[in-house]
Structure 1
Amino acid sequence: MGHRICKILMIVLILLYLAALAIGLIGTYGWFGQDRDPLSWIFILPLGLPWSLMLDRAGDTAAPVLVALTPLLNIAILWLLCRFLKGGSA
């Protein structure tokens, strides 16, 4: 039962990450006739917590890319947790 819930949560997190990534890219580059808005990346910040908060000293050029990748850390942690709940060795 726990493994099934974990798997569903991981799928939801991946879908939310892909949606936030798409919104960020569409808002930044103005695709599909949208106005350019760099604040469209705000949706990716909560998905990468707490790691995104640790990047405040990363620099102005590296920080946006690193913040966009921080949800992948949470996805990896959840994947390892799912494997542990399934009974497989991590």
Structure 2
Amino acid sequence: MIVFAVLYLLALVAFLTGTFGWLGQERDPLSGVFLLPLGLPWILVADLFSDSAKPWFAAIAPVLNILALVFICRWARSLHQK
């Protein structure tokens, strides 16, 4: 779970750096490509959002996976303690 969270943070920094041109980087429309595999399967419902909201949804979709992992780990831990 920690590895997934670190990968998400690195992909988010790459997305924000490429989107806003931080640190002297040129703006890159493909800067969010690393967020896509981390946000699956939620990325598949991105078509429900407007075109301007899609990049931001892609940026927060991995958070849904992190939350799912937290809940699964807590559930598994509670089963193990019984």
| TM-score, normalised relative to structure 2 | 0.88
5+ unaligned residues in a row in structure 2: which ranges? none
5+ unaligned residues in a row in structure 1: which ranges? 1-9
1:81 equivalent in alignment to 2:76: no
Identity of aligned residues (%): 52
1:48 equivalent in alignment to 2:55: no
Structure 1: distance between partners of 2:27 and 2:64:
28
- Structure 1 partner of 2:3: 12
Give RMSD over aligned pairs: 1.2
User: Which aligned runs of 4 or more in structure 1 are off by greater than 6 angstroms?
Assistant: none
- Asked which structure has the greater RCO (Cα within 8 Å, sep 6+), the reply is 1
Structure 1: distance between partners of 2:34 and 2:9:
11
How many aligned residue pairs are there? 79
CA-to-partner distance for each residue in 1:22-81, whole Å, 9 max, x for gaps? Answer: 000111111112111021101001100010111113111221111111101100000011
Structure 1: distance between partners of 2:17 and 2:73:
32
